[in-house]
Amino acid sequence: MPDAVDAAGRSSAPGLVPDEPGAAAPLPLGASAALLGGYRWIEHVLYGLLGSWVTTMPLPAVQVFLDGQSARHAWHAQLFAERLPVLAGADPDGLTRAPEPAGAVLAALAGHDVPSTGAGEAGSSAGPLGALPRLAGLYRVVLPRLVVTYGRHLAAASPVTDGPVIRALRLVLADEVEDWHAGERLVQRLVARPHDVAAVYASQQRLESLVVAASVTSGLVPFPVVTRIDRG
């Protein structure tokens, strides 16, 4: 059962605690649109990425596992698309674009070259990752950070203005937590040799370095600063 949301729009899920006490002010419409467009982009990319892995993973059981999760990401993208606010002169597809560092992280996970950040970090050109490093990157970097991202948005959402968004976030967050835990169990079963350990941690380091270079301290996308209302 999804976790409850209190009167201030905060989730009661363990670990999803607002950064500060007090009620959250509603997100500006433009900021909400940018976040939801970014979420839609991330989920659509994950749908395609996991779908492409289905044909390249060596174990049939892993292929079936990823196929099911790919379909859920497609549904998540649809949910976020349906909740994009209507803004004058703004095309919903135009709002759907890669937020950084999520764009760079998912590009690296797909094996694409990642340009330099311009902040002293060299570009990444390690090429395609093996099966286990890809799974480790997904389940030990991308999904955990995505869970934090959605949980943070849920904690900041106002039930007065963000009811449909809250419902979507709760549905998607429940799926992401379940998929993350199932994927972590899979990675632990597949790590059987010292070489596997080295490959897993190299993949995590590569992706986490992209997040750190973007100065994002938590989650997978920057989150707007929200002024909270002091309850007195």
For the chain, the domains span 24-110+122-216
Q: What is the pLDDT of residue 85?
A: 81
Q: What is the pLDDT of residue 87?
A: 67
Summarize the confidence of residues 45-51 as an average pLDDT: 98
Average pLDDT taken over every residue of the chain? 84
pTM of the full structure: 0.83
The string of pLDDT tens digits covering residues 9-20 is 333 443 334 444
Summarize the confidence of residues 121-131 as an average pLDDT: 63
Domain 24-110+122-216 has CATH 3.40.50.1220: no
Sequence-ordered alpha helix ranges (H) in the chain: 29-53, 60-82, 92-95, 102-109, 131-137, 143-156, 163-190, 194-213
> How big is the CA angle at 38 (ends 230 and 169), to the nearest 5 degrees?
55
